[in-house]
Structures are given as C-alpha cells and as structure tokens.
Chains A and B, each alone.
Chain A
Amino acid sequence: MLRNLKLRLIIYGAVTLFAVLLFLPTLTPELPAWFYKIIPTEKVHLGLDLQGGMHLILEVEAEKAVESYVERVKNNLKDDLREKGIPVGKLEREKSNQIVLEVSGDKDKWEKILSQRYAVMQELSTTALDKGIWKIVLVLDSRQAEQVRKSAIDQALETIRNRIDQFGVAEPEITLQGTDRILIQLPGIKDPQRAIDLIGQTALLEFKLVDEEGNLDEALKGNAPEGSVILYQRQVDPKTGGVKKIPFLLREKTLMTGEVLKDARVAIDTQFNEPYVALEFDDIGGKLFEQITGTNVKKRLAIILDDNVYSAPVIQERIGGGRAQITGRFDMKEAGDLAIVLRAGALPAPVKILEQRSVGPSLGQDSIRQGIISTLISAALVVLFMIFYYRVSGVVADIALILNVIFVMGTLAIFRATLTLPGIAGLVLSIGMAVDANILIHERIKEELRWGKTVRAAIDEGYRRAFITILDSNVTTLIAALFLYQFGTGPVRGFAVTLSIGILANIFTAVYVTRWAFDFLTLQIKIKKLSI
C-alpha cells in the first residue's frame, strides 16, 4: 500500500508537472527557444472578444466561379466552331451552368466537336428547329461543377492567406468553416476597414481593347455593338471628394488576366511624383503581352481591375520585356495595398462579408481586466471558504481545484485552442462542478464518520459512494457537451470544449488526486482524527 502511494505520487506529480510546463508560456513570454523544442506548446490564445482585433466571416460565392468557368468554355466553343466553319447562331450562357447554342450545317461535325472536346458539358436537350438549325442545351457536369466550386474555395482561402501574410498581421487565423465560409481572425489590428478592403477585393486584373469603331453614345443608350461592353473609370476629385465616372466602350474579349503576373511593386513616377504599380509578367505573360501590343499598335489597351477601368493608354509600339504599369491617382498606401492584392493573386470568385466584428484593443483590455479581477476575488473567496469549512481537507480540495485550472489551461495550450468568453463560461461551470465534487466527497465522508466508521473506512466508503455520483453527473454533462460540440457552431463549441476538458480534469483531480492526499494523511502520517 505504501509503495503504491509512492507510485501514485510519481504519476500524478509527472502529469501535473507536464501540465504546468504546457501552461508556462501563457504565464511568461520569456522562455528559451529550446523549451519550445522539447515541449510542444504555445501560449493560450485569447479570443478576439477578450483581446481585441477583428473577426470576419466571408462567404465565397463559389457559384460565380462556376459561372466564369462556363463562360470560358462558351468562348472556347465559339472559337472552335468558327474555326471549323460551322455556322453558329445564338450562343449564350444560361443560369450559371448552362450553354444554349444554335448551330446549323453538318450534324456529325459539330457533334464530334462537342463530344470529344467538350465532354465536361453534357447535352441536356437537342431539338431540331426549322431550316436545318439545331438548338442544343449543354449543362456542366455536376461532378465537374463541384470540382470547380471546391477549388474556388480552396484557392480563395490560399489567396486570402497570402494577402494577410503580406499585409503583416501577427498570429492571424484563417480557417475554412463549413463548406463555403472562411473565418478570419486578426488579433490586435488597428485599421479594420483597410484590412477588409484588402481581403474582400476580388482583384481580377484584365486587359481589354477599347472598341474604337463603336459609338459610345449609342452604347450608353443601351445599343452596345455585338461583342462590346461598357465599363467605367472612377475618378475621385481630391479637393471636393466627388466621384466622376467616365464610361469606356470596350471589346468584351479579355486578352490577358492577372494570372500571368510574376510581381507587382509600388514605384514612384519621377515626373509627377506620384506612386504607381509596376507589373512584371512571367515568361508566358511577357510573350503574350508582346504579341498583344505588337498586333494592336495605335489602339488603346484598357487595364481593368474588378470591372473598374484604371487607365487606357494608347499602345505606341510593341512592348517586350514583360513589364507594364498601372497608374491612377493613388496615395502610397493605396498603391501598396493594390500591389499586395495583385501579387497574392485574384480571388477565383467574389466573397461576401457575412459577419464582421472588430473590438478595439482598449475595450478588450478593459473587459479582461475587470473579468480577471472579479474572477480572482471570487476564486480567492472559494479557496478561503473551503479551508474555513473543511479545514485540512479543505486545503486538499483547494489543491485539487487549482490543479484543475492548470490542467484545463495546459490542455488548451497543447491543442492550440482559443479561449473566448463562452469558453470561460464553460471553464467556470467545470470549476463549479469541481467544487461540487469535492463537497460531495467531503460530505459523504462526514456522513460515514457519523455512522461511527473509522477514518480509513469512512474515506474508503465515502469515495466509493461519491465516485458513483460524480461519475454519473459528470458523464451526463460530458455527453451533453459532446453533443453541443458536434452540432453547435463557433461560440457553442468554444463552450463545449472547455467544459469537456474541465470535466475530464475534474474526474482526475477531485477523485484521484484528492484520494491520494487522504491516503497519504491516513497511511503515512497516520492521523487518528480527520480534520474535515
């Protein structure tokens, strides 16, 4: 029995030591580097509700990615059919995932093209209109559509991660939530609006030719020529702040996109002392750009970002070397942010902000300070009360309670979980249950003593009986917590995590650790009367 006592001390001591080590980084930031190599831990992260910072939930509009995928397929199809000399009538995208097509001529020929090169599009219906014209409705294969959606979301996640990395935020957290939502947590950020603009921008860079033949005035009345669109250039007057929109009639076809960018940097125009963004293309992009400029000398090439025309300079000559620039009336910060989004790449689909919360750092501090003070006061009172009521046994209970908190914090640290306000509620509940467990055991031991049992027998019986109660109540709560975790979202989960960890710690500390202390008192020190 005594050897057993020593063994238990070693085991419990080791577990406790480990938990303390896990929790250590939270208490002090000054730990040597080798410490982190040995102990796989971090400091416990505080949620933004406690610390200040910004919390964003974005929804990736993945359907838009499907739309532009089908749009691309449509454009390729148009070129292919024309190339093969097949007369094409109507050719349009319908809904997000369908193409409606009217062709005439040799049926075998176009059927071959469709089945061989456009297998991702399935024929929904083929009807013969009169005069040898066929109307075909194609629909994107649902598996392919799913693939497009999924990769759009993955890519959006990656792009946003890149942008935030380059923006420079300490300890950002960017995770996928559910299937199409992205959760972004940026602790301690000072200018939330700027971050939102940076993250939420689609940043689709396109190069299109200006339609010089079409009549802009006619187009503005709604009669844009076939294959041309109107886009606007926004000009902000720096003095009045008024916005002027200048319309441009552009060829619909995109000659080049930002995909071929290698780098984007801010540079200063020496002549006007204005910043601009210098673009550098990769090899493919460089060649493409050379070819585009070569074949369109004296025409105007519009540089468009998210459907806003930035500039439309006249191409003076073939431009080699793979360089171009975006000018506009930027200030340094705007130009810098634009360079970041261009470097990080475009979002494959637009994102929508579902939720935004930003808490100023001072508010986080205020709420945490008052919370900590009142928690400390109440913890101190609980500790004192236990000693006052249970004497020596109360000290044992207090040790168990303190260990409980250390275990929970240590576990949060090793799992890199974030502590939020609902999380603290879960912690408080689990500590409440720990207090209850200790009271249950003590009251039960007292009861057994009252029946005239010896100290040893009372402790044995008290623990045996109380254990059943503690296990039943804790397991019931644990089951409820697991269900809350499984079916709840963010805050509900935060609550469930700390509660579950707290309950497991509770069973360990209240039942096993305190038992060791009582055994030690009765077997080693051989007390005759229990101070309870």
Chain B
Amino acid sequence: MELIRPGTKYDFIGKKKFTIWVSTIAILLSLGSIFLHNGLKYGVDFAGGILIQIRFSQVVDISEVRKAMEAMGSKDAMVQNFGGENEFLIRVEKTGEDLEEMSKKIQASIQERFKGKTLEIRRVEVVGPKVGKDLKTKALWAVGLSFAAILVFVAWRFKQVSFGLGGIAALVHDIIITYGAISIAGLEYSLPLMAVILTIIGFSINDTIVIFDRVRENIKKMRKENLETIFNTSINETLGRTILTTATLMMVVLILFFFGGPVIHDFAFALIVGLISGTYSTIYVASPVVLLWNKHFTQKKKR
C-alpha cells in the first residue's frame, strides 16, 4: 500500500517564512498565557499542600462539601468535582501550619459532617513544600543536562553544530507549546504531566533525527544541490513514514484521551498537543534553524 506517491514534492521549506510566524505566535500565546496566569498552576506534587479525594455512595452536592470545609475554618480549601458525580477533590495549597495535622483535621471533620452517609476517602496526598521544590529543581536540572547531552551527541554524529542546535530548538519549541496548552486549558501541572513532557522530549528528538539522518544521507548523494533543496527532498522522502508513525501514535493517544478515564485524561491531552508540535517542529523549527545557521555562520564552506 502506498500512502504517499513516490516522487511527491511538496515545498515544505519554502513555507518557512509563513511558518516562522505560526511558531512565533504559538510561542507568544503559550508564554503569554503562562505569564497571565502567574506561571503554571502547580499541583500538590510540586507546590506542596494537601489533596484529598472522597467518594460518597449517595448523592452529595458540592456545596455541602464546601460548607463542611468552611465550617472547619479551612477557607483556602478548594473543592471540585472529579470523575463521577459524588466524587470530590479537596485541595489545600501550602500553608504555614503543620500539613500532616491539617490533613487529619479535614478527614475527621468530613467524617463527622457526613455521618449518615457512606463515604470513602480514596486518596490522601500531603506533600511538604520542600519535597515539591526539590522535585522541580532536580527535574529541571535533569532535563537541562540531558539537552546538553543531546546537543553534543547530535552535533558529533552529524558533524555539524547546527544539527544539534536545530534539534534542541525543536525541543524547546515543543516544551513551550505543551506548557502553553496546559496553561491555556487551565490544567494543573502535576507528576503525570511532567511524565508527558519527558515523553514529548523523547518523541520530538526521535522525529527530528529521522529526518536529519536522511538529510545526512542525501548531502552525500546530491552534492550539487543546495542545503534547502536537500532538506525538502529528505522531508518528502520520509513523509510516508512521518505520517504513518504520527498517525499510529495519534490513534493510541486519542483512545487514551477518550477512554482512559479521568486520571489519564489530562495526560492524554498534553500528549496530543506534544505529538502535533513534535512532528511540526521537525520540519518547521529544527530544519530552518539548521538552514539559517549554515547560511549565516558557515557560508564560506561550499557544499
């Protein structure tokens, strides 16, 4: 079966003047949303605090749970519906008080308030602010250092710094877009979403290298052509693969999104965004960066 007819020649790179604007606007929107919301909305995992998930077996209105929280003097507690009708998340942002004590108090007062109803405390998370901060800084360092490693390795494998830079530029682009989508959708940045970011990093660099690899091969074959033509040819030659791979993965992620349940829902949403961005960025971020770099810094080297 053929998805893409051989000899297909879309002028991908020629559209770069247009797509640069697309990328710029997307990045500005993402950063803008993050800034407007005063940074990402960190969940308990990162910000520290208390999260309690309860499920009642009878009908309970959310306002009743809110009242219970107010009655015990916990004004900072946020209550929201989760999954089913009678399931709620109670969240307390980090406070100066002893979190462990406070979580005990909340659980006790909920039990007291809804004495007649059967309820189940399904999840309790108490994260000290130190742990969350630790996780954040360590993760940031780990990602930063892995980027540096990718930069060095790719630059070495492809014998040009520009390829390493292109790959990293695409990664940064994808991360910003995904964070932007998380921020615009008003999702809470928690551990599973951090896992998504890591997944997207892996996917994006994989996708970029596949095309770079074809470019490297074609540079040897098409000695007379300029780099821009070589990139275009390479992208077209691997187009079948790009579409197949992305479509297959997209299918998986869409299923997770629709049928994965509330726990996986946000996770799948961010993956969808990252998948699209990761595929796009190979063609419209990584490749133009290589081209621009070579045009401005390695012009004298004639290939």
Contacts and interface: CB of A to CB of B under 8 A. Distances in A.
Nearest to B275: A432
B1 interface: yes
B202 A499 contact: yes
A378 B127 contact: no
B124 A421 contact: no
Given A355-B131, A422-B194, A488-B142, A472 B259 contact: no
A468 B213 contact: yes
A469 B209 contact: yes
B245 to A, nearest CB: 5
Contacts of B201: 480
B138 A428 contact: no
A433 B202 contact: yes
B125 A356 contact: yes
A421 B206 contact: no
A60 to B, nearest CB: 14
Contact of A443 (B120, B191, B241, B249): B241
A474 B261 CA distance: 31
A491 B135 CA distance: 9
B149 interface: yes
A378 B195 contact: no
Given A192-B124, A429-B199, A492 B213 contact: no
Given A360-B122, A381-B255, A425 B195 contact: yes
Given A377-B255, A385-B251, A425-B199, A371 B213 contact: no
B123 A358 contact: yes
A440 interface: yes
B186 interface: no
B72 to A, nearest CB: 16
A363 interface: yes
A374 B121 contact: no
B147 to A, nearest CB: 8
Interface string A418-447: 000110011011001101100110010011
B77 interface: no
Interface stretch (B59-67, B150-158, B288-296): B150-158
Chain B CB within 10 Å, residue with most, of A192, A374, A381, A447: A374
A481 B198 CA distance: 9
A371 B120 contact: no
B202 A429 contact: yes
B219 interface: no
Contacts, number: 212
Q: Is the interface of B mostly helix, strand, loop or mixed?
A: helix
Contact of A491 (B195, B238, B245): B195
A473 B154 CA distance: 9
A476 B141 CA distance: 18
Given A363-B123, A439-B245, A371 B202 contact: no
A374 B142 contact: no
Contact of B124 (A357, A447, A477): A357
Contact of B244 (A196, A443, A491): A443
Given A358-B124, A492-B198, A476 B150 contact: yes
- The bracket for how many chain A residues form the interface is 35 or more
Contacts of A18: none
B28 interface: no
Given A355-B127, A425-B199, A489-B138, A363 B217 contact: no
A358 B1 CA distance: 51
A412 to B, nearest CB: 17
Nearest to A178: B134
A370 B134 CA distance: 31
Given A382-B248, A473-B205, A495 B259 contact: no
Contacts of A474: 206
B23 interface: no
A354 to B, nearest CB: 4
A6 B122 CA distance: 54
A370 to B, nearest CB: 3
Contact of A359 (B123, B143, B206, B251): B123
B157 A371 contact: no
Nearest to B245: A436
A357 B126 contact: yes
Contact of B149 (A355, A367, A377, A479): A479
Contacts of B103: 356
B159 to A, nearest CB: 12
A421 B259 contact: no
B139 interface: yes
B187 to A, nearest CB: 16
Interface in B237-270: 237-238, 240-241, 244-245, 248-249, 251-252, 255-256, 259-261, 263-264, 267
Nearest to A57: B131
Contacts of A385: 248, 251
A331 to B, nearest CB: 18
Interface in B83-128: 100, 103-104, 120-128
B150 A479 contact: yes
A488 B139 contact: yes
A405 B261 CA distance: 23
A7 B76 CA distance: 68
Contact of A378 (B191, B217, B251): B251
Contacts of A425: 192, 195-196, 198-199, 267
B145 interface: yes
A382 B252 contact: yes
A495 B1 contact: no
A475 B191 contact: no
Contacts of B124: 192, 356-358
Contact of B100 (A356, A375, A469, A476): A356
Interface of B: 1-3, 6, 53, 100, 103-104, 120-128, 130-131, 134-135, 138-139, 141-143, 145-147, 149-150, 153-154, 157, 167, 191-192, 194-196, 198-199, 201-203, 205-206, 209-210, 212-214, 217, 237-238, 240-241, 244-245, 248-249, 251-252, 255-256, 259-261, 263-264, 267
Given A366-B263, A488-B142, 10 more contacts: A359-B123, A374-B260, A389-B244, A421-B192, A429-B199, A469-B214, A483-B142, A484-B142, A489-B138, A492-B138
Name the 4 nearest CB pairs between A and B, nearest first: A370-B261, A483-B146, A487-B142, A488-B142
Interface of A: 57, 192-193, 196, 352-360, 362-363, 366-367, 370-371, 373-375, 377-379, 381-382, 385, 389-390, 421-422, 425-426, 428-429, 432-433, 435-436, 439-440, 443, 446-447, 450, 465, 468-469, 472-477, 479-484, 486-492, 495, 499
16 contacts: A192-B124, A363-B53, A363-B122, A367-B261, A370-B263, A389-B1, A422-B195, A440-B210, A443-B244, A473-B209, A475-B153, A484-B146, A487-B141, A490-B135, A491-B135, A491-B195
